Amino acid sequence: FSSQGTLKLLPLPLFSPSSLLFCLVLSLLLLLSSTILRRHVGGYDSRHWAFAPPYLQDVAQPTFVFWSTQVCFHAYPELLIKTSAKMRWCRHILINMTFILIWITTFKNAYRIDASIRPKIRVKFLEQADKRIFDLTFEGLLLQSIFSILGYSWMYALTRRSKLSILAALPPFALNLLYAGTHTLCAPLDVFAWLSYGVIHFISPFLAAFWLWLFASPGVVSIFAWSFGIQNCLGIITHLSFPTAAPWYGDQYGYPLPPGNYSMPGSAAGLVRVDKVLGTHIYQNAFKASPLVFGAFPSLHGAFSCCCFFFVARYSRKGVGILGFYVLWQWFSTMYLRHHWRLDLLGGLIYSTFVFSIFYRSLQRMDKAYALGVSGGNGWQRLFEGTRLQNFFDGQSGYAPVFSSPREGSLDFDMRERDSDSDTDVEQGWVDDLGFTWKSKVPSTREIVVTGDR
């Protein structure tokens, strides 16, 4: 990654990481389109190669595209090096979405894995572990306290801020409180839970990415996309290697829990009541056709909301409250609708926390470069520069990132009397990519004093 969070898209050798990623994304797109065509276009199977079984056909087609594209790039490097701005823009987006596409493709094709080679489904594990950890017993309180201490320690090690660290210690207890309110069923609560679980869940990553493009440091959206994709890939790998049953399994099949098998259809659980309220069968049909039924741990619904929270809240104090409410809302909804245990949501939080920690230093470098003026303006500044609306963002600028250390939060870089060599060093970390990265010239000698706390 460059300092701005994008891959440096420079002249490509045959097996450069950039060209490999680009070809991989194209191959995955072909595999995904193959799946969609097979399901929705009649007669598509007849056009498959008859000499190979379906799973080899699905591997052979994207593999052929992958290697042929590699050879094409090697023979004609000007296809990517001397290309138009639109092509480079598409390539930039595809590379940043690599892990998101891998996750979607893997999820859509999970049903193709032969049941004989898949691991045993653990239908009792989550329910037993959930009770053991979250019940109000001595052992449960001890385990919850351990998770709280770990959360506090993680946040304090990352930010050196005690108030935020206390906030990071609360999730185990918050999950218990939310779970206590999930036992009363009524139509208003059904709709309330559905809005979060079935509507906002799908648009929240797009809204968060757009907000980050507008107001965060340039390049943060790329890091958000990679974090979002990687956490979901880790989640889908766990679902496939450690299949577990959701709460609805016991509701539907009764106790004692019968052994699970991969031929069992999924269940909409509490969303069936939402279908009745709306007068549709959307969720019943969608969950029955789910390609991955036994994927309760970790909860990617919970991980979605936590990922959005970490990134937006880092750049907005108001975001801490708004996105914090959304996380709690999502947690309540998943438990109320009987799609996840408390432990699943805690697992989603841990996965999201782990990936955010990996990219935290990259965010710090981007924020520093933005404060120095090296990376140019963000989306809002470039859209409304020279207009009255620019004043709106200027009123928000100079803030201290919420998830930051006191030194970083105040942006106390105190860069006085910088010479041209040091400015050049900072600028060299940025890639001039026809608008996809931003490069502004910093005066060779100037005094920069940024005090972010307002």
Q: Side chain identity at 228, as an amino acid letter? A: F
Residue 344 has pLDDT above 90, yes or no: yes
The DSSP bridge partners found for residue 244 are 122, 295
Which one has a higher pLDDT value, 383 or 117? 117
Whose tokens are 């990936």? That residue is: 355
Token reading at 178: 């939310």
Tell me which long-range contacts 126-131 makes (C-beta under 8 A, separation of at least 24).
126/244, 126/245, 126/246, 126/296, 126/297, 126/341, 126/343, 126/344, 127/245, 127/247, 127/250, 127/257, 127/341, 129/343, 130/341, 130/342, 130/343
Prediction pTM value? 0.73
Which pLDDT does position 15 carry in this prediction?
Answer: 46
Do 287 and 274 meet the contact criterion of CB atoms below 8 Å apart? no
The domain limits of the chain are 17-96, 125-363
Nearest to 251 by CA among 303, 183, 299: 183
| pLDDT at residue number 343 | 95
CB 215 within 8 A of CB 2: no
Q: What pLDDT, in 10s, does the model give residues 144-180?
A: 999 999 999 998 888 888 888 888 899 999 999 999 9
pLDDT digits (tens, 9 = 90+) for 40-63: 444 444 334 333 444 444 545 555
Contact between residue 274 and residue 253 where contact means Cβ atoms under 8 Å apart? no
Tokens of 82: 């001397």
From CA 444, how far away is CA 352, in angstroms rounded? 41
Q: Are 400 and 410 in contact (CB under 8 A)?
A: yes
SS (H, E, C) 318-330: HHHHHHHHHHHHH
For the stretch 11-31, pLDDT in tens is 344 445 555 555 556 555 555
pLDDT reading at 448 higher than 50: no
Can you state the percent helix, strand and coil of the chain, rounding each to 5?
65, 0, 35
Alpha-carbon gap, residue 291 to 283, rounded angstroms: 14
Instruction: Indicate the helix (H) or strand (E) that contains 434.
Output: none
